[in-house]
Amino acid sequence: MEKHPHLLLWKAVFVLIIIGLGFGVYASSKSIDYTWRWERIPQYILSTEPLEIRSPFDGTVTVDETNKLVTVESDFGDEPLVIKGFDTLLINDGDLVFEGDPLVETKHWNIGPLTWGLIMTLQLSVVSLIFAVIIGLFTGLARISSNPALRYLSVTYIELIRGTPLLVQIFIFYFFIGTVLDLDRFTAGVAALSVFTGAYIAEIVRSGIQSIHPGQMEAARSLGMNYVQAMVNVILPQAFKRTLPPMAGQFINLIKDSSLVSVISITDLTKAGREVVSSTFAPFEVWFAVALMYLILTGALSWAIQRLEKRLSASD
């Protein structure tokens, strides 16, 4: 790439435009009649809650000099209770305690509903991704097979899936196939997402394989490798590298598409967001927070794939 003149100037222009946009958003948020309550959001992501530890028996308390270690000697000869790692002390050295008396308090981290939603989205995406890659790989290979039955089957599958909306497929998977095969929500959701994404991955795999020079296959076969060995050792590793950028796009799409499974009552990040809105009455803040959490997932993924691309470019 040619180095642009006035590099610094144009970078400054970029920063200014971003700041301008940010200010515009801020100003417009002021102009509407809406009270922002950002403080309501964090507890739905992560919250703390005090947890008391109570004495299991009657006894005497000893606290060491550092206030870090509490020992309760039982009056009835039970094994003494030793407590370490707490946040607040509720008793003093030498106190007599009865069974059920609170001794110390620890802060207990509680994962909020938005984080649970994020975890569900992550689970959905990862499981669907694995199946989608497997489906896509085999469909892509079938697509370029010399066997007409395999070829037509894969074309039919790809065209059917790409030609219908994901939302409709999710309903079909949940209400029809889910009823026939007795699938739970999660399985139906994963099935719909992986079948959908698999069709796109199949096309990426096909174009990746076809972009490898036919001489590579000939060279591999001329060395005595059979078709499968040549594919696995020569063609696919090269195709994999070449298809990484479109794959990354597809994986990111998968993460975002997973928000559609909220229609079959899977509490993913989007559905969690909807639930939190109804309890906070702070829709703007919640949706911004949800968007940010999706961005974290997709951003991490595209960062990881860029790293992988860099590592694989060693042979270029």
Partner 1 sequence: MTNVSDKSIIQARNVEKVYPNGCHALKQVSLDINRGEVVVIIGPSGSGKSTFLRTLNQLETISDGTIHIDDISLTDRKTNINKVREEVGMVFQSFNLFPHKTALGNVALSPIKVKKKTRDVAETEGRELLKKVGLAERMNNYPSHLSGGQQQRVAIARALAMHPKIMLFDEPTSALDPEMVGEVLDVMKSLAGDGMTMVVVTHEMGFAREVADRVVFMEEGELVFEESPDRFFESDNPRLQRFLGQVL
Q: Pick from 120, 191, 205, 234: which binds partner 1 (CB under 8 A)?
A: 234
CB of 229 to partner 1, least distance (A): 5
Minimum Å distance from CB 11 to partner 1? 33
Residues 212-231 that bind partner 1 (CB under 8 A): 213, 215-216, 218-226, 229
The verdict on 148 binding partner 1 (CB under 8 A) reads no
- Nearer CB in complex with partner 1: 147/226: 226
Complex with partner 1: residue 130 or 219, whichever CB lies closer:
219
Please state the three-class secondary structure of the chain as a single string.
Answer: CCCCCCHHHHHHHHHHHHHHHHHHHHHHHHHCCCCCCHHHCHHHHEEEEEEEEECCCCEEEEECCCCCEEEEEECCCCCCEEEECCCEECCCCCCEECCCCEEEEEEEEEECHHHHHHHHHHHHHHHHHHHHHHHHHHHHHHHCCCCHHHHHHHHHHHHHHHCCCHHHHHHHHHHHHHHHHCCCHHHHHHHHHHHHHHHHHHHHHHHHHHCCCHHHHHHHHHCCCCHHHHHHHHHHHHHHHHHHHHHHHHHHHHHHHHHHHHHHCCCCHHHHHHHHHHHHCCHHHHHHHHHHHHHHHHHHHHHHHHHHHHHHHHHC
Instruction: Give the binding range for partner 1 (CB under 8 A) out of 102-110, 145-153, 178-186, 308-316.
Output: 308-316
Closer residue to partner 1 in complex, CB, 88/222 = 222
Token pair, residue 53, equals 């530890």
- Of 63-71, 87-95, 158-166, 210-218: span binding partner 1 (CB under 8 A): 210-218
Shorter beta-carbon distance to partner 1: residue 229 or 279:
229
Find the part of the chain contacting partner 1 (CB under 8 A) among 39-47, 102-110, 209-217, 268-276: 209-217
Task: For residue 146, state whether it binds partner 1 (rule: CB under 8 A).
Answer: no
Of the candidates 241, 236, 147, 161, the one whose C-alpha atom is nearest the C-alpha of residue 199 is 161
| Spatial distance between the Cα atoms of 84 and 182, rounded to a whole number of angstroms | 49
Site for partner 1 in 153-182 (CB under 8 A): none
Rounded Cα gap, residues 186 and 123, in angstroms:
10
State the minimum distance, in angstroms, from the CB of residue 231 to partner 1: 12
# residues contacting partner 1 (CB under 8 A): 21
Q: Is residue 244 involved in binding partner 1 (CB under 8 A)?
A: no
Amino acid letter, 177: I
Q: Name which of 191, 197, 159 is nearest 264 in CA terms.
A: 191
- In the complex with partner 1, the residue whose CB is nearer, 247 or 252, is 247
For partner 1, which is the closer residue by CB, 182 or 316?
316
95-103, 185-193, 236-244, 294-302 -> range binding partner 1 (CB under 8 A)? 236-244
Q: Among residues 237 and 283, whose Cβ is nearest to partner 1? A: 237
What does the binding site for partner 1 look like in residue numbers (CB under 8 A)?
213, 215-216, 218-226, 229, 233-234, 237-238, 241, 314-316
